[in-house]
Structure formats: C-alpha cells, structure tokens
Chain A
C-alpha cells in the first residue's frame, strides 16, 4: 500500500484563477513592502551594532529586576526579553539582553560587560552568561551592505543561468517568483518582528535556491513538452506540464518541510528564526512556482517557431539526454 499524495493523473487548471492568484501575489508583495516600511525590521546586532548577552539561570527570570539592576549603568536603550523553548529543562531560564551601540566605541568594552555581569549577579547569584556578542557600528553597516549584495548577486546569477539554459521569458518568470518569495519572507519578519540577522540572510539565499529549483524543474519539463505538442495552446501545455510534475513538487516540498519541522521543534531557540524563514520560504516558493512564475511566462508568451526553438545552450543538453 503506497502513500499517494497526488492522484496518478490530475487535470487541475492552474490558470483558472489566474488573475485572482496573480493579484493576490501582487497585493502580498505590496503589503510586505508596506510592513517593512511601517514596522521596520527587527535587526539583530549584526546589522545594527550593539551587544547581546544571553543569560541563563536556575531561577525564574524577572525582566523588571534585570532592568532596574542595569538602569544605573547608563547604557541607553536596553531590551530584555525572556526566551522560552520546549528543549529547555524545567529549571532552565534564559533571557536575551540587547544593548544599543555605545557612542564613540566600536565594540563594547570588557569593563562595561563586567559591570553588567556584576549588576545581574547581584539580582540573581545563580546567573551565568553563555554568550556575549558585540558588533561595532562600522562592521554592522558593512554587513548590511554585503547581505543586500549577496541576495542581489544570487538573484542575478540565477537570472543569467536560467536565461542561458532556457529563454529570457523563463528567466523573467523565475526571478519574479524569487523576488516574490524573498519579499514575502522579509514581510513576515517585519510583521511578527522576528529578529533579522545574518543567518536569516543565509535562509533567504537558500529560499532563492529552493524556489528556483522548484521552478526550473517545471520549466525543464515544459521545454521538453514544447516540441512534443506543437499544436497545443501554451496555456494548456503549461497546465499539462504542471500536472505531470505536480506529484514531484508536492513530494519535495513535503520532505523538505518534514526535515525542517524536526529542526523547528528540536533544534533549539538559537536556530528557530532561521528555520522559520526556511519553512515559510518553502511554502511560498511552492506556491510561486505553481502560480507566479508560469503566469508571467504565459503573459510574455514563448516563441514556438519551430521544433528546435530552444536556445543553443539548452538544445545541446537536451539532445545529449534524449
């Protein structure tokens, strides 16, 4: 007895709600941009500079007392939040303290950290400091820049590759789907104010990789089908192709989500934001593969002049494999 996620033969019309789905995607992208503009991103110290101190204690965390203890030190804006995680033991209480970048200092001085630790020990003698991280404003500005550059360069690289392997319409569709996925993920981070740091950028880049993977598999099949069904309208051909590959699309999304769910639940709080970004990206990436990338290709149309209408680079591969 096999588990069949998708019936053997499906004939879903993916363009039936073409304008609704495409419109919804557009609205979601605009909303994401708005959310980033209005709420802003909750940048971690990687991008904003400053210091985070992770505290751990056998006693319950009293955020108010921590705050009072640190008030006398004159550190400016201090954020204290308790961290909850199912992987923690019953008497494991963790808090994150974030201190803004101090004027005139690239990184926080050991004396300041020492003073904070002493102040907190007075409140809770059992407290320990498993990690202290400090990033100066100079580096954080560069990190923002290099992160933006990484996402842009990743998209550009994918664009060029898809363009060379397929046709420019496919490249436009693929990159539009990528931008859609990345913006929606960033939007979610803005709405829920989840900490946005360097590892999230790595997650965004992986979403790029995953989403393009998904899209390219369908385009690959479409390229194969184009000469086979010369008379079929592009719209029907795309539906046929998508239905043919649907089983694989769902299978891969599910296996990846299964692996990620395990990380989300058991991987600890340090990784949670990262895993959340990936899971969201996989779901959105699957949606955009089915409803965004192809819509754009359909709107742009594909040149179906002859049986060998693939770009030269593409033909070479296709011939070698058929």
Chain B
C-alpha cells in the first residue's frame, strides 16, 4: 500500500480544486470580461450603474474568481509601439530658458566684464561672450551662483549647471549628474503623460512600460491601428505663447537671431517670425476645456496657474496693440492682437478647429505636453479578425493535439494512461489558473508553449510508468512496483525539468516580445506538470490501489 498522509492528500486535492476554480473564468471568456468591464465602469462612476452594466455584471457571479488570462495583441488585435524619447530636447529648452537669468546676473558686473553678447551655439549649450576677458573669473562666479544644488542621492554636493570659460566666452550647460537626473525625470513624465492620454480614450488594459534607458513600450489592445495610437500619443502638444516680430509670406525669410520662422496653421503660405523664448508655456496651464468662441466656432478655453497668470498679465499689460502668437507644436495656431491687459490668467484659443479637434486639443493640453519628442523604433498593428483567426486555429490545434495525446497514452498504458490523462487535464487547468492569477499575457507562441508542455508533461508519467514496468518485470508486487517506480523516476524528472525551467528563465530574462510570452507559459507549464506528474498521478494511483487492491497490474 502506498502511504500518503491525509494532510498531503487534502493539500493536493485542494490545489487541484483551486486550479480548476481559477481556470474556469477562461472557459466563459466574453461573459467574465463583460462582467469585469462593467464592475470597473461602475466603480469608476462612483457606484452608479446603468441597466446594461447591471445586466453585464449579472453574467458572472461575484463570489467566483474573475481573473482572466490577458490575450496578447497577436490574439486580440491592437497596436504596439516602441518609442525612443529624445531626452536631449529637454536640455535644450532648459538651457535656452537660462539666457535671461544669465544676462541679468552679469548686468551688475558690467564694470568688470563689459558688454555681454549671446552667441550662436548647438542645442543644450549657452555661449555668452564677454567684452572684457579680464573679468572672466567674476563672470563665472556670478553665473555659477545661478546653479541649484542637486537633490538626488548620487548627486550630493553637485549642482545642476556646468559653467566653463573658453577664451572670452562663458559656456553654460547642464552638469552630467543633472543630465542623468533630467533623463530619468523626462522618461517618468513621458510615461505619465502617455498613460493619461491613453486613459482618456478609455481602452482596456493598455501596457505602458519603460524599456531600457530611454525607451517606452506602448501596447494598446483593441485600438484601430498603430497610426491612430501614434496620432494620440505622438503629438507633443507643446503649447507656448510667444511675442510676434513679423508676419511674412516668404518661407525662406531669415528670422534673425533667436527668432523662429513658423508656419501659420490655418493660412497656407503665411509665416510668422516670433521670438524664440516664450512668455508663458503650456506647463503653466491648470485646465483646458473645449468651448465655443463668440462667433460660435469651436475653441479651447484655458486657465493658467498663478505664476503663468502673472507672466501673462504683465506681458499683456505692457504690449497692448502688439500681436502675440499661440504656438502649438511648431505651428502658429493664431496670432491675435492684444486688445487689453488680461489679468485673470484665463483665455481662449481660437483657430480653424472642428469640434473633434478642439476636444482632442483640450485633452492633450490637459494631459500635459510631452517633455520631449519621441521617435518610433517599432510599430505593429494586428487586426482583431486576424487575432480571432489565431485564437480559433490555436484552440482547434490544442484540442486536437490533446485528444491525440490522450488516445496515444491510453493505447500505450491502458488504465494507467487514463489516470495520466486526468493528471494532464488538471495540469492544463493549473497552467491557466496560474496565468490568470499572475495576470500573464497569452500570445500565439504561448499557445504553442502549452501544446508543447502537454507533450512534455506526459514525459514525466512515461518515465514513471516505464520504471514501474521494469519493477514488475523483476517480480515486485503492484504497490511496491509503483512506489519504487515513482521514487526512481524522480531524479530523472527533476533533472530534465530543471533544465527546461532554466531555459525558460533565460528566455524570459534575455528575450523580448513573443519570446517572453512563450517563456512564461513554458516555465509555468513545466512547473505545473512536475506537480501533476509527481503528486497528482501518484495520489490518483494510490487511491485506485487502495480502492481496488489488485493482485497484479499491467502497465
């Protein structure tokens, strides 16, 4: 008789029962999904439910587990983007904004340094020539005084600016420590802003992750195409208000130093020359809402924070009668003439918008501008029909493969094959249960991984059964043969499975995309198949032995 303590039996059955319970929602995928969506929508709405939501909620009882395996983009359809954030952009705007401060810091030193002149320089570097090189030391000290101490852990004792002298020129740029900190901040901000923009559209379970140093991976199931997704998150939505220098129709006009030549958004062939340094930027916005102007055309209402409101108010008070430009992503949306002092810090952007455009612009402004531009390294769109085809083909292949394996096992091992098949079924339930609970994503290669583990899960049982056969041949009694068979096969099972897990871990660690999805299912499949082969099959056979007490067995 094979002795298995009662607590162990109970534990094994409990694990199997839990596995089946947690795998079950996947059998009723659309139903449970409807229930989950409705529950999320009701929670978001603060507990009030529409009749449809209540109906959807009722499709699946609350007391049952409702975790589902996430379907990957290749199964559900959707868009996948890999973006690289141009972190260098931020240095440029930070340093550019330093110029007025540097000028002001050097002004009291005019006696020592003479006149100061800004010189052309690459982005991210500010070069200021001083008339009197003898005063360089004072100039450096004065500019260095503008630097802020760093507050990061690694940057203790360092400041954010690196100020050096090159002949008669003061060169100001961000210090390396500050650059690293800025990069990190830029990525975090970009992640946050992308997340807000994607959430505003309200799709289900988008994946927005940082990858490596300066990359962001965005996967949104159910969206029409990568192009749509790019239009949504690729827009920098950088809003600035700049003084207008001139208006021209000459695309080749020379804007002059520190001015920009930008096209007008709604008047083809018209260009504005504006000052490069803005009066206020979109970062000072606290709110933006779609609205209509006095002529009933779509527009966007906005409100500044106190600092922005002050700057905007001061500027409008001093420049009544002058035009200023509202610039969005390198295009002049409109260039109204300042009629009066605007003290309240709110205003309206009018342009040639449609209602959709003004709504989208409001969303983008509200979510905030991306701190830097993004370039696209990889994009994939998978249509939902192709995804459905893949699910259908994958499930059909799995079912047929499983039936074939089941018959093959019964043909080879008879009653023992039947018991191994029960363990195999439990194994598949366990795989789905674990995938659901950890929220893993099932991809097409992942389905192949499950089919493969079915083939390999049988391996452990084959090892055991072959051992039992050998022991029977040597004349051992049924329960003794079975016991020794399990014991002796264990070392081979452990060895072979550990190597399989090893490769799965390496695949997960190094691989990306489809390789990872495959590694997860393979790794989980190997673990659960070890459990079912060693514990579940053993328990089933032990129970059968105790019940039947056969005199002899044929494996």
Contacts and interface: CB of A to CB of B under 8 A. Distances in A.
B491 A270 contact: no
Contacts of A107: 376-379
Interface stretch (B10-18, B158-166, B263-271, B399-407): B399-407
Nearest to B522: A206
B515 A202 contact: yes
Contact of B455 (A54, A108, A199, A258): A258
B466 A153 contact: no
A271 B518 CA distance: 12
Nearest to B384: A130
Contacts of A212: 496, 499-500, 503
A202 B511 contact: yes
A177 to B, nearest CB: 12
Interface string B487-515: 11011101111111011101101111111
A274 B452 contact: no
Interface stretch (B39-47, B111-119, B131-139, B222-230): B222-230
Interface stretch (B235-243, B249-257, B410-418): B410-418
Nearest to B512: A146
B533 interface: no
A255 B455 contact: yes
B455 A270 contact: no
A139 B82 contact: yes
Interface string B14-27: 00000000000000
A258 B385 CA distance: 28
B93 to A, nearest CB: 23
Contacts of B74: 270
A110 B381 contact: no
Interface string B204-234: 0000000000000000000001110011000
Contact of B503 (A106, A206, A256, A268): A206
A157 B379 contact: no
A248 interface: yes
Contacts of B509: 153
Interface in A114-146: 114, 128-136, 138-139, 143, 146
Contacts of A157: 502-503, 506
B329 interface: no
Interface stretch (A18-26, A59-67, A216-224): A216-224
A125 B289 CA distance: 41
A131 B383 CA distance: 6
A134 B466 contact: no
Contact of A259 (B452, B487, B511, B512): B452
A22 B98 CA distance: 73
Given A205-B515, A271-B444, A266 B386 contact: no
Given A205-B503, A209-B504, A2 B411 contact: yes
> Interface of chain B, helix or strand or loop or mixed?
helix
B452 A113 contact: no
Contacts of B507: 150, 154, 202, 205
A318 B495 CA distance: 11
A198 B513 contact: yes
A303 interface: no
B375 A150 contact: no
Contacts of B394: 267-268, 271
Contacts of B469: 8
Interface string A94-115: 0000000000001110100110
A210 B386 contact: no
Given A154-B507, A213-B499, A266-B397, A199 B491 contact: no
Contacts of A251: 412, 458, 462, 466
B408 interface: yes
A215 B4 CA distance: 32
Interface residues of A, number: 83
Interface string A236-274: 000000001101100110111111111101111011001
B262 interface: no
Contacts of A138: 84, 377
A147 B554 CA distance: 47
A150 B510 CA distance: 6
Range of interface residues on chain B?
35 or more
Contact of A2 (B227, B404, B414, B454): B414
B396 interface: yes
B377 A150 contact: no
A129, A254, A270 — which one has the most chain B CB atoms within 10 A of its CB? A270
B3 interface: no
Nearest to A148: B510
A54 B386 contact: yes
A259 B492 contact: no
B376 A213 contact: no
Given A2-B411, A139-B82, A146-B510, A266 B503 contact: no
B502 A201 contact: no
Interface string B148-172: 0000000000000000000000000
Nearest to A317: B491
Nearest to B503: A209
A180 interface: no
A271 B513 CA distance: 15
B462 A161 contact: no
A153 B522 contact: no
A130 B459 contact: no
Contact of A213 (B411, B456, B554): B456
B515 A318 contact: no
B530 interface: no
Nearest to B454: A259
A278 interface: yes
A299 interface: no
B452 A206 contact: yes
Contact of A262 (B400, B459, B515): B400
A255 B411 CA distance: 12
Given A154-B507, A259-B405, A260-B452, 15 more contacts: A107-B378, A130-B385, A133-B380, A136-B378, A158-B503, A201-B515, A209-B500, A213-B497, A247-B466, A251-B412, A251-B458, A252-B455, A255-B409, A268-B397, A278-B448
| Closest 6 A/B residue pairs (Cβ) | A256-B455, A262-B401, A268-B393, A130-B386, A110-B227, A130-B383
14 contacts: A113-B227, A128-B383, A130-B383, A132-B226, A134-B378, A161-B502, A198-B515, A201-B511, A210-B500, A221-B492, A244-B470, A252-B458, A252-B462, A268-B389
Interface of A: 2-5, 8, 54, 56, 87, 106-108, 110, 113-114, 128-136, 138-139, 143, 146-147, 149-150, 153-154, 157-158, 161-162, 165, 198-199, 201-202, 205-206, 208-210, 212-214, 216-217, 220-221, 224, 244-245, 247-248, 251-252, 254-263, 265-268, 270-271, 274-275, 278, 317-318, 321-322
